[in-house]
Structure formats: C-alpha cells, structure tokens
Amino acid sequence: MKYSEVKNYINGQFVDTDSTRKLDVISPIDGKLLSVVPMSSSKDLDSAVMAASKAFPSWHKTPIKERVQVFYRYKSLLEKHLQELAELCSEENGKTIGESIAEVEKSVELSEFACSLPQLVTGEVLEVSRGVECRTEHVALGVVASIVPFNFPSMVPNWTLPNAIALGNCMIMKPSEKVPLSVGKLAELLKEAGLPDGVFNVVHGDVEIVEAICDHPDIQAVSFVGSTKVAKIVYKRATSNYKRCLALGGAKNHLIVLPDAKPDMTAQNVAASMSGCAGQRCMASSAMVGVGNVDHIIDKICDEARKIIPGKNLGPVINKVSKDRIEKYITEAEAQGAKILVDGRNTTVEGKEKGTYVGPTVIDYVRPDMSVATEEIFGPVISIMRTNTVDEALAIENANPYGNAASVFTQNGGMARYVIDHASAGMIGVNIGVPVPREPFSFGGWNDSKFGVGDITGKSSIEFWTKLKKSTTKWNPEAGVNWMS
Ligand code: NAD
C-alpha cells in the first residue's frame, strides 16, 4: 500500500475513526492499492459538527477582509504544490497529468474568486423615508456540508470550500470514497494558510455518512455534486429536514453540428469534449446531432479520435464496474443497429494490464430512443444521431431529462442564437465543446442536472452560502410618525 490509511480531519487534526468498515483505494491506472479509507459513522460526524460549531462564533465574527487573507495564502500554496497535487489527483482518479494540472489550476482560479468576495457582498443601504434607513447584510449560515464525487478530486471540493468558508461558514466535507486522498492534502494546505482549527473538517465514508449529514440537526445547508440518482435522494432528505440544499446531478450534453461548421475546429472540439478526463466530466459531450450532411466532419472526428491513445493522452475510467458498464452500452448500441466507427472496447495498455481503460469510441446512426442516446455513459464515447433540421435536433436535446450543457457548431450567428434560445440546458456553448462558465460566472445546469435554486460557484453561490439580514433603523425621533416611518 503506497499511502498510510486515510484519516478523517477534525478540528485541525487527522484522526482515526472507530469504524471497522473500510474500503480499498485502488489506482485505476494499474490496479495498485493506494490506501484504505474508513467508512465513518454518525459518531464521527458528531465530532466534526461539534468542532465546526465551536469554531463558528469566532470565524464568522472575523471580518471578511481578514477571512479572505487565508485564501490569498491558500491560492499561493496550491500554486506551490501544483505538481504534487496533480500527481496525487492522477494516481487516485486516473486522469492524465495534464488534465490534473488543469484541474488544480482551476482550483487556483476558484480561490482567486473567493478572495474577491469582500467586493461582492457589500450589501445595500437606502433612506426609505425621512430618517429611516434600510440596510441588508449577508450573514453566514453556520455549519454547512459539501458532498463531492470522484471525477474531480481537487476542483469540485474547491467549488464549495473557498466561497462557503470565506463567507463565514464552517464546513464538513465528504469526499468520494473512490478518491479520498486529494482532499486531505487540501486540508493540510488550508491549515498552513492559517485557517483556524475546526473551520474545515473532512469525514470519509459512503451512504451512511451522507444520510447522517442530511439528518444532522446542527448542519444548516448541504451542497451535493454527483449522479442524478443520488442528487435526488440527498435533496429530498436534506430538505425534508428543513435544510437548504443544492444538489447537482448527472448530464447528457448534446452537440448540434451544422454543415457550415468549421470542420477541423469542430472535430477537435468534439473529440476533446467526449474524451477529456476519459469522458468522466459532467460537461462531456456524449451525444452529437448532425444536421443535414455532416459526413465530412464525422470523418474528421474519427481521425481525431484515433489520435487519442489510452495510457498516453487518455486515462482509464474509474474502475472495472465502470469499464464494463460503458462497454455494455457500446455492445447494446451495435446490436440495435448503430455503426461503431471507432471502437474502444477491450482496450489494454501494455505494462498496465490491470488498468481500467476504454478507448475513444465513435458510434454513428444512433436512434434517439437507444440508451446510448438518452443515458449518461460517463466514458469516452460519442453517439451520433442525424436530423434534417435544427428544430429536430433541438427536439432531441429538449426531450432528454438532463440539462447541464449543450453546444452548437456553426458559422451562422442567427442559428447560434436560435440554439441558445431553444436548448433546454443551463450552460450553452457556441463552437465550444465544454462550455464551462469561468469565474465570476456561475456553474449549474437545469432540469435533472440540478435540484435547488441558484448555482454552485461564482456570484450565485453567495445567495446559497449566506442568509440576508434586513435592518430598518431610525435615529431622528423628531420626524413625524406615519405608516412609512
Ligand atoms: P455518485 O452520485 O455515485 O457519488 C457522489 C457522492 O455521493 C459520493 O461522495 C458518494 O460517496 C455519495 N453516494 C453514492 N451513493 C450514495 C447513496 N446511495 N446515498 C448517499 N450517498 C451516496 O457520483 P460519482 O460516481 O462519484 O460521480 C459521477 C457523477 O457525478 C456523474 O453522474 C456526473 O455527471 C456527476 N457530476 C455532476 C457534476 C455537475 O456539476 N452537475 C459535476 C461532477 C460530477
């Protein structure tokens, strides 16, 4: 085992749990045992919540300009440890080192945004009648929780922790049991940056701990990022306990390709979008709708896909269960009459035979009712459907229950605007395969890709992590009294 057993992080210390239930942490690159992660109990959560509750009064009374100083230092530490964080991320998740570096760089950008929060939470004040002033303030919620998935071990935790903490909350984070190592390193860096003990805590585990978070009476808000199935469970359970909840779910992102699209640029974008991070991104495109004759572009997409080599510029998928599920989708589509243009099944990488690799896969002549067309695959696979008109393409996109992202590839500005107006997704790209809005813009889908109000990052996150206090004051008793005073 390469690393020692993973520990919870409570009140600024790495601590053991009483739990006897443990899971192996396996690298998907070569099947090597990296560590063992404990499945914490509600008793462990109680300790974390107690530490966070104790830290809260002093932390939220610290002026925000002082609180964000921690994140200036944290940002510099992320930059200083970028290579080390990226290597750890690649080891546990499998993504290529270049993808991990980009993920940590994105974490840096997220902490930069947190440093700008004092400029964004100034509140408002107005004299609403003679001598009477109304004023608003953003007030921290208290102890909050963040439950995160396996596909971005560093970036997704940084979607929530810098903003929630800079805004005055104390946090319990529940990492994915598949990739529990990176968050421990983030905790160390936060401590080095000067974050007081108890403000950030980590509790490892699975279903049991997630349920305990949703039920805990002293947790005020829960953010969740993961599959739609679990997002629904968490949203329902947390809100039925009267907590604020924002739960981001899975995705099926459509790319609409028109015949006038620039062929090389489109092909490169489509191939990168479907295969980046081995297709394990909630912003990955896994369905393409070609409008009219786009055969010349599909040929180029296949050429681009063939340049993506497992073990070189393509990492493995997270585990064997995932590999088998993805390959089953491809086989099923083939049996239903789709044509496999590039086939990534049965891929192995020399010297890494225990790695769980799936090669890039391009499937053409997919019908909109096939499961490869409708379901999230979460692997480097694109399913191509054909229509005659943009409206038919939009009807396919609109009919899908998810709504994270959609993109259009065209040189026609009017058509691009038409797709922006009519696609039923929260994040739209024009000639961009992965239309992630960068800070200060916020990240969040629609429909079955997100439950709750607002978005998880950017300016929108301020509303989620704070409550608004409205005060009305009067200091001139000599002014007349009427209903407005
Ligand atoms: P997942 O839903 O299996 O797990 C997410 C978290 O929930 C983990 O911490 C896990 O321990 C916990 N969990 C799993 N099953 C649970 C259950 N039955 N009850 C309570 N908790 C449970 O997701 P994953 O496989 O880790 O991540 C991949 C999914 O996340 C994909 O669907 C992807 O689209 C989605 N995702 C969405 C976004 C977004 O912004 N919308 C971003 C990243 C990932």
**Test site for ligand 1: of 176, 245, 461, most ligand atoms within 8 A of the Cβ:** 176
Give residues (CB < 6 A) around ligand 1: 147-151, 156, 174, 176-177, 206-207, 210, 225-227, 230, 233, 248-251, 282, 376, 378, 404, 445, 449
**C-alpha–C-alpha distance, residues 230 and 412, integer Å:** 39
- Looking at residue 484, its pLDDT comes to 66
The answer to pTM > 0.85 is yes
- The torsion region of residue 12 among left (phi > 0), alpha (psi -120 to 50) and beta comes to left
CA-nearest residue for atom 21, ligand 1, is: 207
Q: Which residue has the tokens 């968490």?
A: 234
Q: What HEC string does 200-249 produce?
A: EEECCCCHHHHHHHHHCCCCCEEEEECCHHHHHHHHHHHHHCCCEEEEEC
- Looking at residue 478, its pLDDT comes to 73
Tell me the CA–centroid distance for residue 216 and ligand 1, in Å.
20
**C-alpha–C-alpha distance, residues 267 and 296, integer Å:** 10
Residue 81 corresponds to which tokens in the numbers above? 């440890």
Does residue 135 sit in helix, strand or coil? strand
Tell me the CA–centroid distance for residue 482 and ligand 1, in Å.
55
Locate the domains of the chain by residue range.
Answer: 8-250+445-470, 253-430
Q: Which residue has the tokens 């905790």?
A: 187
Give the phi and the psi of residue 201 in degrees, each rounded to 5.
-135, 150
Closest CA to 113 of 426, 427, 438: 438
132-140, strands of its sheet edge to edge: 125-129, 132-140, 466-474
Give the phi and the psi of residue 15 in degrees, each rounded to 5.
-130, 155
Catalytic residues: 282
Atom of ligand 1 nearest to the CA of 205: 11
Tell me the CA–centroid distance for residue 347 and ligand 1, in Å.
26
CA-nearest residue for atom 11, ligand 1, is: 206
Does residue 187 sit in helix, strand or coil? helix
Does residue 303 sit in helix, strand or coil? helix
Tell me the CA–centroid distance for residue 389 and ligand 1, in Å.
35
Domain 8-250+445-470 shares a fold with domain 253-430: no
**Test site for ligand 1: of 159, 206, 232, 402, most ligand atoms within 8 A of the Cβ:** 206
CB 87 within 8 A of CB 100: yes
The residues facing 430 across adjacent strands are 408
CA-nearest residue for atom 34, ligand 1, is: 250
What is the mean pLDDT of each successive set of 10 residues along the chain, which is 485 residues long? 97 94 98 98 97 98 98 98 98 98 98 98 93 95 98 98 98 98 98 98 98 98 98 98 98 98 98 98 97 98 98 98 98 98 97 97 98 98 98 98 98 98 98 96 98 97 98 82 67
- Looking at residue 130, its pLDDT comes to 86
Does residue 305 sit in helix, strand or coil? helix
Tell me the CA–centroid distance for residue 246 and ligand 1, in Å.
13
CATH T-level topology, domain 8-250+445-470: Aldehyde Dehydrogenase; Chain A, domain 1 (3.40.605)
The residues facing 137 across adjacent strands are 469
Indicate the CATH number for domain 253-430.
3.40.309.10
